[in-house]
Structure 1
Amino acid sequence: MKNNLSNEVILQEMRRLLAYSCNDSSIENNHYENLHLVILKKHFNAEDVRIDHLNNVIHVHICLDGGADFFGRKSVVDVEMKYTDINEFLQNCIEGSDQNIFFYKNILNFYSREV
């Protein structure tokens, strides 16, 4: 993959990869499960994410303050989100900031080597 892709092309390719990764056979085989998890972790700044495809629910474990108290405990919240279309949900997590573009570029490089 070229290193000088425009941000718009990178976003477009990420959206295409997500759409492809959400087809029925990919979901059933969990082939792209890690892709979906890292996209959700990045978007929600989450420590842990689980996707329950059977019930169309995403469980996200989010650290609220980024730090820990004196005893090393973090302020966390568990969020449960329902979805009707996993592809649509993941597509809405794609953002065009420079930091995200770099992240997406690495993902695209990884998956282009896999194909």
Structure 2
Amino acid sequence: METSRLTTRILMEIEKLIARSCAGGEIPNEFQDLHKVLLRKHYNAASVDIDYDRQRVKMDVIVSDDDYDPSTVNVALQTMPVNIFFKNLFGFLKSCLEKDVKSLAFYSRLLLKYNNQNVMVSV
């Protein structure tokens, strides 16, 4: 039961952070980085580029994790280019959230980072 409440709390807080990052007109660089990190994790992407004006995300998604070796520099990973259109940035980023333990730990580290920076959106 305690784990369920912790899971719910982490997901609620990361959703609040995403909502805060999507509010207003111009998105600060810190929040652009947050968006890229969330997308990179969810899609297992090597690179992510977000065009906020055209509402598009361009990514190079890693085809197979079998070739990945964390002990070496990975310059020859097979990737597939992906171009995704989104209508609502908040909804799109929220749909990328996962509930597994590894993801929850990742989100809690993001929350610590962004809450310690006191990143605020000017409205």
Tell me which interval the TM-score lies in, with the shorter structure as reference length: 0.7 to 0.9
How far apart are residue 7 of structure 1 and its match? Answer: 1.1
Higher RCO (CA-CA < 8 Å; seq separation 6+): 2
1:44-65, Cα deviation, whole Å (9 max, x unpaired): 0110000001111000101101
Greater strand share, structure number? 1
Q: CA deviation at 1:26?
A: 4.9
Q: Does 1:106 align with 2:105?
A: no
Instruction: Report the TM-score, using the length of structure 2 for normalisation.
Output: 0.81
Deviation at residue 74 of structure 1 after TM alignment: 2.6
- What amino acid is aligned across from residue 109 of structure 1 in structure 2? L
- The aligned counterpart of 1:56 is 55
**What CA distance in whole angstroms lies between the structure 2 residues aligned with 1:30 and 1:76?**
26
State the superposition RMSD in angstroms.
Answer: 1.6
Distance (whole Å) between structure 2 residues aligned to residue 73 and residue 64 of structure 1: 12
Change over 3 Å in CA distance of 1:33–1:8 after alignment to 2? same
Q: Is the 8 A contact 1:83 1:89 kept in 2?
A: yes
Residues in 1 aligned to 2:77 and 2:99: alpha-carbon distance in whole angstroms: 29
Cα deviation digits, residues 14-58 of structure 1 (max 9, x gap): 00100110012452x334000000000000011000000111100
Q: Distance in 2 between matches of 1:73 and 1:49?
A: 17
Confirm whether residue 15 of structure 1 aligns to residue 15 of structure 2. Answer: yes
Identity among equivalent positions (%) equals: 27
Structure 1 unmatched ranges of 5 or more: none
Please give the alpha-carbon distance, in whole angstroms, between the structure 2 residues aligned to 1:25 and 1:106. 26
Aligned length: 107
